Structures are given as C-alpha cells and as structure tokens.
Chains A and B, each alone.
Chain A
Amino acid sequence: MQQRKGKIIVEESKAESRGGAKKAKNFALTVIAPVLVVAIWFIVTNTGMVRTSILPSPQKVVSTFWSLLSSGKLWTDMSISFIRVLRGFALGALLGMVIGSLMGFSATVNRVLGTMVSILRPIPMLAWIPILILWLGIGESSKTAVIFIGSFWSVLLNTIHGIQSTDVKLLEVARVLEKKRSVFIFKVYLPSALPSIFTGLRLGISSAWTCVVGAEMIAATSGIGYMIHYARELAQPARVYAGVICIGVVGVIIDKGLLVLQRKLLSWAYVDQE
C-alpha cells in the first residue's frame, strides 16, 4: 500500500514536471520573437551595419532608459500621460456604454444614431486633431478629446454588439416567467453583454494609450509623447526609442492586467483550465 502510494506520488510529480516543461516551452515560444529582434538589433548596431543616428544600439537605449528613470523624468512624463489617458478613457468608456446601451436596447435610437456612427467612426485620429484644436484650443481639453475619441468607438460598438447578441433562448426563459422590463435589462441583457463590454473597454484603453502620442503633438510641454517629439528635435535617437518601447511595454501591462481582471470578474464566461 505504502509503496503504491509512493508510486502514485512519483507519477504525480512526473506529471507536474511534464506540465512544467510544457509551461517552459510555451514561455519560450512567446518570447522567442522579441529576443530574436533584440539580438538582430544588437548585431546590426554593434557591427556598424546601421548608423547609430538612425538606430542606436540596444545597450545605449537601455542606459538612456535607466538615466531617464533614475532622474525621475520618465516617471513624471509617464504619469502625466497616464492621467490624460485615464481622463479621456473614463469619458469615452462612460459615454460609449451609455450610448451603446441605448442603441442596443432601442431600435429607434439605433436607427437615429446609426448613420452618424458609420460616418464618424472611420475618420482617422489625425484628421480630428486640427478640428479639435479649432474647437477646444491647444490646452488640456483638446488632448483629452483626442483620447476620448480614441477609446469611445470600441466601447460603443462592443456594448451594442453585446446587448444585441443576448441569447434568444435565455430571453424566452424570462418571457415564460413573465419578468418585468427592468429584470430583462438588469438580469438578462446586461450580464450577458458584460464580456463583450469588457472587451470593448480593454480595446478602448489600449487605443487610448496609443492616442496619447498623437494628443501630445498638440502644443504639449510634458508627457511621454512630448518627450519623444522633443528628443527627436534634439537628435537624441536613444531617447526616442526608450520612449517608444516604454509606451509598448505599458500598453502590454495594461492589456494583460485587464485580461486577468476580466477572467476573474467574469469567470462564468470562461472554460475552467485544468
């Protein structure tokens, strides 16, 4: 009996290590492309194949990054940008969810606003910037507006889609039980739309973050986007790259963080992993 138990434990630990090997393999697969890119970057810059005024070496970018970080400059610019993103995103998410809900629930509202949505949505961010400057000037409000527009559409469309794709079969259950309209809305439509709304929020904050550089092209004197523009004007390529990479990394962190949150809050919508 004792022996058997021992054997089982051994097998379990084998299975575990197999699981560990699989995990290691998956990890290797996800990091292989970036590692390769950095390696090539390292080679072409250190052998003089590419001019360092166009592409500084990775070690130069890293040391610039450290000096920016230790001087506190990076932190200040990042937090200023981040607050701008949050302000624009909060507005975009709120309006996106409210208008999206109205359009999802009411065919009339959907018809009235639908045309406007299809006209306005394809307008690229860069085309909005001059208009927003005309309307709002070059202060904070036009920067917030750029980020607002950047995050609004994906929240809006995903909210509409989430509500409209509520399972007819579940709606029939509520109809058979003679439920009130408020129960339909708050207990059936909205919960079933939540995963889609959350996806909209995730896409929204990601695109808000990518819009920040555009927004900080408008007469900014601070922020990560400003830092990048300014560094380019001063011909400091290492600083440009450090800033660009920072934006990418923070974007990944925001997205992954929200994904984890989504899986935790809406665990019912996901198949349990072994």
Chain B
Amino acid sequence: MGDLFHRQPLLRELKEIGYLFGKLKRTQVVLTAGNHDYLKAGSYYRTFSWPANVHMLTGNVLQKAEFPELGVSVCGFSYHAREMREMPELQLPGDSGQPVNILMLHGGDELHAPFKKEELLRLGYDYIALGHIHKPCVISTGRMAYCGALEPVDKNDTGPHGYLAGEFTEQGCRVRFIPHALREYRHLTFPVSAGMTGLAVKEGIREMIAGEGTQHIYKIILNGFRDPQIMFDLHPENVSGNIIEIVDQTKPAYDFEKLFEQNQDNILGRLIREFRDYDRDSTEYLAMCEGVQALMEARRG
C-alpha cells in the first residue's frame, strides 16, 4: 500500500519486482503508489505492464480491483504528488458484489492523507490495510493496521519488522504479525555509575549485547552519572562490530547538593543555585554540569 520504492522507480527495477511478483503462483498482488514513489508525469508506473497477477491502482481517486474467484474486492488510490493534504472520497463503492472488501490506504499524518480512525472504520470495509509508517502497528484489532516495513529501512526503525498475514473466516478477519527481518535496529540504554571505568563500560555493553542477541544492530546510549575524572573514549568499532553509534549522555557524578552546601558563597555554589532546579535534559542543567566540571578541574591544591 504505497512506497514500494523509496524514490521514483527505474524501469529495470520495476522489471525485477515484476518478475518476482510474477513468480507468485497463487497470490494476487494489489499495489498503489505512495508519497515517495508517487505517480509523477514521467513515472514508469504509468506505462509498466505488470504480470497478470499484479494489479496496480493508479488513480488518485478510489479505484477497485475485484477478485471474484477469491470473493474479495480491494480499493485504493495512488499518490500523484509528494503530498496529499486532502483525503479523496473513500466510501465503499455500492456496486461491490464481493463478500470481503479491503481498503488500502497510504498516509495518516498531516501532509499525507490525514484521517480519523473512527471515520475510516465507519466506511464499511472489512479490513483497512495501512501503509506509510515503518513500524508495524495495529490501529484497530482485526480491522485496521499498519504492516510496517518488511525490513528496517533506517537506523531509527527499531523493533521487529515483518509482515501482516490476515485471514478472513466466518468470525471475521484475523490478523497476525509475522516477524521476518533477521536483524533489528535496537537502541539500548546503558546505565553508567560513578564507579565504572572505560573498560568496565565496554565490557558491560558487550555483555548487554550478548544478552540481547548479537545478530541485531545497536545504538548505545550511555546514561547516568560517570566518574568526573573519566572520559569515555568509546568508538563503536572498538566495542563491538554491530554497534553503529554510541551516544554519551552521562553527566559527571558530582553531588551537586553537597557541593552547593560547601560552596554557597562562591561562584561554584552560585552556579549550582542558578541552574539546579532546571529539568535534567535542559540546556541549563547541562550548562551547570559543564560549568561545575570546569570549575572543579581548575580547583587549586
């Protein structure tokens, strides 16, 4: 349901995917264009001849593909521009003679076909297949879901990826998520405490990764309070091969309250008094940490 390609597909790419789709002997494929591979004036989508089992709904208004042998009709529309602020008419066509009706819809945010969940559910479709968001997400059980990307596309596409398998029975639609991607991007927060050295952190991260699964790809966020004397020099490749990034968000483990008590009248105490009530993630708090560290390092004696 949209964005089969991240950009305008090339003809040879369409040929490849067409070949792969054509190999599906028992499956009918219905697809639309999304905001990334939208139907531009010269798009190959407009002219490409798909195999017989592939049905592309190219209109920017609701179109329908019917499969009488399956008892299913699939409705959907394609993007003709990069954005689509207005939702086209989505009412279930009255002439649909099939017992099961599915709507394919790409978008959901402000710039891309914004919708309200309740309104969509009221349209009368048996299932609404959503696309656009990379993370799999069920909006309404058995009625509406984002299937997410098959594989993580970006380092921030964390969590499991796969596809949704839906089955229509007497009781209605049953949708299952089938994990398919072998690797995930994972963000791990590693708590650092004041007693830890660089090597201890490195080993800790390795252990954590071993526990989580070495097949995944990690972004490590160091959190907590570090020994003010220590600078972690952690390069991802020195810690483990499957880390793309290590973000150091640790703060020096100064006991600000105690420091304040001891230095009420001098500049250190005043700096702490100015900033200590700010939020921990604020620039001001960070400024306090930096300032205190600089003053402490410059301490005489």
A binds B: no
